Structures are given as structure tokens and as C-alpha cells.
Structure 1
Amino acid sequence: MTDRAWAATRKGLFELRRRRTGWEIERLSFVADPVTMLLPPDAAGHMLAGLNLGHFGTKLHASDDAGQTWREVTAPSFPPQPADAAGPEWKLQQVFALERSGDAIWCGSVPGGLFVSRDLGESWQLDETLWRDPRREQWMGGGNPAPALHSICPHPTRPDELLVGVSCGGAWRTTDGGRTWGLRARGMRADFMPPDLAGDENSQDPHLIARCRAVPEVLWCQHHCGIYRSTDNGATWVQTQAQPSSFGFAVAAHPGDPDTAWFAPAIKDERRIPVDGALCVTRTRDGGRSFEALRTGLPQRHCYDLIYRHGLAVDDSGERLLMGSTTGGLWASGDAGDSWQTISSHLPPIYAVKFG
């Protein structure tokens, strides 16, 4: 079980350590700067953090000692934008996802670009095939003006294969390291689209996609319009229903059990608050046929916390969970979500939590 974790927030990166009495905040890096995403350290202690500094732009920092010290490295960048190019400006607005796969590090961005680094984040190359695909011009922002590539799901045994999720642009898969791509969202339905386009794979809004590492053919998706599961590596998706809500942004897939996943439900669209002002996590242990609402230790009255896409994480054991909210609540569970302990209720808004 992991004894170290991080919370990326609007006012810095908080490092957490698990002691005998529970999780404690040990270190704060990038004080008062918005940290939108992080890549936990590898065995050598190398990690990355993406910052969004507003007027000063999007920055990327690297650490070679597991977060004790940091240095700025070159952030991903887009090529010059042709005068007749459709869609949003070709400018990095946010580092939205960071994942390792073999000797590569992949970065997803706003707007919906995918970049790869093969030198530990010192330099980046845009995946030109996906970026130049004419179907990308149909992508649209899901709550933001520009599309967002937020989910990167590497295959654990095939380093050249990964599946990515885009809001709103569906799910895409490559099996050759990004040289070719194919849509992978059949079965998803977008009820915000006209009826004849609701099933269009390129119009879907997956909020987050997560893979079961032990059984990589199984993927879970928290979609804008419900919860989906695939058992054939994303070729087809089947919708399932949860109570008190199937809407949300976050999903965590159990690393070893393909039938178990966790979600953070909310009221959808313009409200985006917990149902009845009571925060809970829903868990399925039977592949989505049924769900439990896990509430012990979570606020149940006058709670208006929303859990962002990357605000829910599970460790390699499948027993420890971490959850952070838009209003600075941070909770941990050591029993697969049956009960929760408050780490803090007054952190800055939390964008992402990661075990490392």
C-alpha cells in the first residue's frame, strides 16, 4: 500500500504522508500557484507538474528528487496556426493529463492535443496524426470554449497502445504509438445532441475514462450522460445506472478487480452539486449491475462540494482512496470507500489527487 500522495490545487501542490494516525500534509510546493496536473515520481524520483499561471501562461516543472526541489522545463507547444484553420487557437491553455507508458510520457491538453516525450519531459512532440485528423475539427468544448483531452489510458503490457478521452470528441485508440488512430466510443450516447447525432462517436463527452490494469480489456467511463463500461478494450460501451445519480466527473477503476469501480455522483448540468446536499461515493462490485452509496465520514448536510475529473484516486492495493473537492475538502479511505476520514476541509480548490 502507498504511503505517499499529492493534491494539486489552485494554490499549490500539497504532498501527503500516511502516518499511524492517518494522512498528514508534509510539504507545499508552488505556493499560491495553480497546479492543474501532476505525474507522480517513478522509481528514480522523477515527476512532473503542470501549472496554469494565467497571464504568464502554462508552465511545466520537473523534479528529480520526488518533489523536494523543482525546475522549469519546456512545456508542450503547438505548431504555428494556419490562417484558415478552424476551431480554437493553437495555444496551450492547460496541462490536463500526464501518464507514463513504457519509455514515453504522454500529455493531454486544452485545446485537445496529445503530446509525447521520450526524454522525461525535457522536450515534447505533438501527435500530428490525431491533431491533423479532419474529424478533430468537429470537436467542441464540454463546459469550456475549447475541447479537452483529459484521459490517457495506457495498455499495461503493450506500451504502443493507449486510449484517450476527449470532451467533446469521444474516445480514440492507437496501437502503434500514435501513428494511426481510430474512434472507440460505439455505444455511448450524447443526449445533448440532436437525436440523429446522439450516437455519433465523435460527439461524445466522456468526463473521464479509467482502465483496470489487471484486466486491461475492461474500461470504465463517467460520461456527461451516464456511466459506461467496456469489456472489449473500448470497442463497445454499455450504459449502466447508479443511485443517487449517474452524473459526475470522476471515476476510479480497481487495479485488480475488473468488476469494481468508484464514482462521485452529482446533480448534472447547471447545478453540479451533490444530490440533496449530501456527499457520497458510489461503488459497484458486480460490473455495474448494482451500486452502493458510501457516506460514512462524508458531510451529509449543506454540502456543495463537486469532485473534478481527477479528484478521485485509488492506490495499487485497491483499498486506499483519496478524494478532493472544489471547495477544498480532502478525504481518505483505507477500506475501499466503506468509511472516510477528513484530512482537511479548508484547502484551496483541488484539481487532482494522485498516489505515488
Structure 2
Amino acid sequence: MSDRAWIATRKGLFELVRRAGKWDFAATAFLGEPVTMVLPDPRDGAIYAALSLGHFGAKLHRRDAGSEQWTEITAPSYPIKQADSADPVDWTLRFIWSLACGGADEPGVLWAGTLPGGLFRSPDRGASWALVESLWDAPERSEWFGGGYDVPGLHSICVDPRDSRHVLVGVSCGGAWVTHDGGASWSPSAKGMRATYMPPERADDQRIQDPHRIVRANGSPDKLWCQHHNGIWRSANDGVDWQEINEVPLSNFGFAVAVHPNDGDTAWFVPAVADQRRIPVDAALAVTRTVDGGRSFSVLRNGLPQQHCYDLIYRHGLAVADDGRTLLMASTTGGAWLSDNGGDTWQTLSGNLPPAYAVCFG
């Protein structure tokens, strides 16, 4: 059972600890600094924090198990773009948007997804990083474009627990991509997704899809969920095909999705009004949950603000613990909520945190 959690915000990293069944804020790190991502590594107990320091660039820090000290480590870095390159993208690290651990058989291996759409791999706990050139050099990358940002961004990294060489990633707006050989080669993996923001003849193009977040159920790893710009999709065959979930309550738009660690038919979403008004539907915060693979949903509101609520939950702002029951959620306007019963009821942890970028258990 997870007894620690973290909330990465625009003004610091906040650590929560569960004691005697109650969650309390226990520590703060990088106070006043934007923390874009946090990753606990269950293989060795380390925790990683990515910072975005504007003029000073993106930074990465690690705290080892048993230590209270954070150590700055190497951040990913793009190679120098050749002067004759036709690529319009600036090969400069904007920020680290996702972090993931390699498999249990790969101690020290880390993955990082970044803006502008790069995937990096470290073999040594972040001491060094290499751009995964096979994906960066893919001809199809010329089709990628920015969604919420003005450049593509790689936000989801799903390592198959059965095979560490099998990794699926999600890109806004570049679709889903999969490797079966540790990153030596890649192929599109967004068949079935649909982009209504494109001309009709290109709506099914795998290379320009905008998955907002993709997650894998590690206990049933063939099952993946995607909260897409244009709806919710599910794959039951390891991303080979995606099926749209059509009967979705409130709204099929949102950013976050969390999947039960052992039951790939159970997933949670946070619906919002699309595009021009990115707020909860009717200004009342709700979480939707399916336990049957998307055939039906429950709308969960108990304990969440139901009037004058304008909180948006970002892509990494919703997480489920390894017990499959404990959920943590934090918003753009400083709200943080926790549920210990799968979302049936929620308790408010804080109403005045800085805007939250990511939450996780560890």
C-alpha cells in the first residue's frame, strides 16, 4: 500500500504522508520554483523532480532513498541542429513533460518525454541522457504539430511490464508510437483514433492525433486507455487498435486518465468543457469512472466542489495508488482532493496550493 504521494506545482513540490490512515502534508521542496514532473522509482526508492526555470532552462534533481537531500543531475539535451536542416522545430529543451522508469530488469534506466516532442533514455539514473534518434528522425515527425503548446510534446510513456523493450508513447499532436526493440525502431500505434479538428480526409491519420494522456494497466498490460482531444479511446490489444467509447456522461473532453493497476476495465476521467471554456461542466467538478471497459460510467461528485468551480485537471493531475482504491487529484487553481474508496467520496486536502502540474503515489 502506498503511503506517500507528491504534488508537483508551479511553486514547488509538496510531499504527503499517510499516518494512521490520515494523509498530511509532510515536506516541501523547490519552494517557489515550477516543478513540471515528479517520478518515484520503486526499484531503488529514489525520486526524481523536473523543474522548468525559464531563462535558466529545464533542470532535473534526484533524492536517493533514505536521504533528505536533493542532488541536481544531468537534464536531457538536444543535439545541435545542423545549419542546413529543414526542420522548423527549435532543437532546444523547453521542459520535461513526462518521466518513466524502465523495467524491473533494467535497474537505472529512465525515460523522459519533452517539448519539443523528443524522447530521451538514461541508462544510469539520470547521470547521462541520449535522444532516441530513431523516433526523432522518423519522417512522420514532420507531420507533428503543437496542440496546447506551439510545438509537439511527448507526455505519455508506457513501458510493458512483461517486456522492457516494448514501450508505447503518446505525443500531442503526433499520435501514439510503439517500439518492440528498446527504441531501435518505431511504428504508429493510433489506429482507430479520430481527429475532428483536421479536414475530413485526414481525420483518421495516425500521425496527427492528439492523445492528451495514455495509460497502461500493468496488471493486464494489453489494456490501455487514452483521453484524446476528441474523446475517450480504449485498446484491448496492446495499442494495435483503438475503440472509441461513445456513451460518456457529461463530456468526452478532458486531459487526465488513470487506470486501475490490476484491472484494465476500470478507469477514471475528469470531464471538462472543450476548447474555448476549459472548466468543469456546469462549473461543478466531477470524476467519471467505468468498471466495465467503458460500457457504463458512474459520475462521482461526493466531496468535490459543485458551485462556482473552475478547476481544470491537467494530464498528469490524476493518479491511482497501487491498491486500486486511493486516488489523488490536483487542479490548475490550487485544489487537491483524495479518495480512499475508488472515487465514491473525496476529501479536500487543500484549496490554495499553487497550480498543479502532476501528482503521483510512491
The alignment's TM-score, normalised by the length of structure 2, stands at 0.97
Aligned ranges 1:213-292 → 2 under 5 Å: 213-241=218-246, 242-292=248-298
**Cα displacement (A) at 1:87:** 2.8
**Cα displacement (A) at 1:191:** 0.2
Residue 175 (structure 2) aligns with: 170
Deviation sequence 1:285-337 (CA, Å, 0-9, x none): 11001111100000000000000000000011100000000001000000000
Residues 41 and 101 in structure 2, CA contact (< 8 A), matched pair in contact too: no
Aligned ranges 1:302-321 → 2 under 5 Å: 302-321=308-327
**Cα displacement (A) at 1:40:** 0.9
2:332 corresponds to which of 322, 326, 334 = 326
| Residues in 2 aligned to 1:67 and 1:305: alpha-carbon distance in whole angstroms | 34
Residues 76 and 129 in structure 2, CA contact (< 8 A), matched pair in contact too: yes
**Cα displacement (A) at 1:88:** 1.8
Deviation sequence 1:205-233 (CA, Å, 0-9, x none): 00000001111110000000000000010
| Residues in 1 aligned to 2:195 and 2:215: alpha-carbon distance in whole angstroms | 19
Residue 155 (structure 2) aligns with: 150
| Residues in 1 aligned to 2:67 and 2:22: alpha-carbon distance in whole angstroms | 21
Amino-acid identity (%)? 57
Counterpart AA for 1:249: F
| Residues in 1 aligned to 2:67 and 2:225: alpha-carbon distance in whole angstroms | 30
| Number of equivalent positions | 356
Residues 191 and 240 in structure 2, CA contact (< 8 A), matched pair in contact too: yes
Residue 352 (structure 1) aligns with: 358
Q: 1:86 to 1:107 in 2, by over 3 A?
A: same
Aligned ranges 1:78-117 → 2 under 5 Å: 78-83=78-83, 84-102=85-103, 103=106, 104-117=109-122
Residue 72 (structure 1) aligns with: 72
Three-state SS of the structure 2 residue aligned to 1:228 is strand
Three-state SS of the structure 2 residue aligned to 1:276 is helix
Residues 46 and 65 in structure 1, CA contact (< 8 A), matched pair in contact too: yes
Question: RMSD over aligned Cα, in angstroms?
Answer: 1.0
**Cα displacement (A) at 1:21:** 5.8
Residue 208 (structure 1) aligns with: 213
**Cα displacement (A) at 1:246:** 0.7
Residue 39 (structure 1) aligns with: 39
**Cα displacement (A) at 1:66:** 5.8
Deviation sequence 1:230-263 (CA, Å, 0-9, x none): 0010011010131101100000011111110000
| Residues in 1 aligned to 2:336 and 2:272: alpha-carbon distance in whole angstroms | 17
| Residues in 1 aligned to 2:146 and 2:356: alpha-carbon distance in whole angstroms | 21
| Residues in 2 aligned to 1:268 and 1:68: alpha-carbon distance in whole angstroms | 42
Q: Does 2:132 align with 1:132?
A: no
Residue 161 (structure 1) aligns with: 166
Counterpart AA for 1:89: D
Counterpart AA for 2:96: V
| Residues in 1 aligned to 2:21 and 2:350: alpha-carbon distance in whole angstroms | 14
Residues 47 and 66 in structure 1, CA contact (< 8 A), matched pair in contact too: no
Q: Does 2:341 align with 1:335?
A: yes
The alignment's TM-score, normalised by the length of structure 1, stands at 0.98
Residue 7 (structure 1) aligns with: 7
| Residues in 2 aligned to 1:227 and 1:277: alpha-carbon distance in whole angstroms | 21
Residues 48 and 121 in structure 1, CA contact (< 8 A), matched pair in contact too: no
Q: Structure 2: any 5+ residue segments left out of the alignment?
A: none
* More displaced 10-residue stretch of structure 1: 339-348 or 21-30: 21-30
| Residues in 1 aligned to 2:274 and 2:205: alpha-carbon distance in whole angstroms | 21
Residue 62 (structure 1) aligns with: 62
Three-state SS of the structure 2 residue aligned to 1:248 is coil
Counterpart AA for 1:280: A
Counterpart AA for 1:24: D
**Cα displacement (A) at 1:67:** 6.5
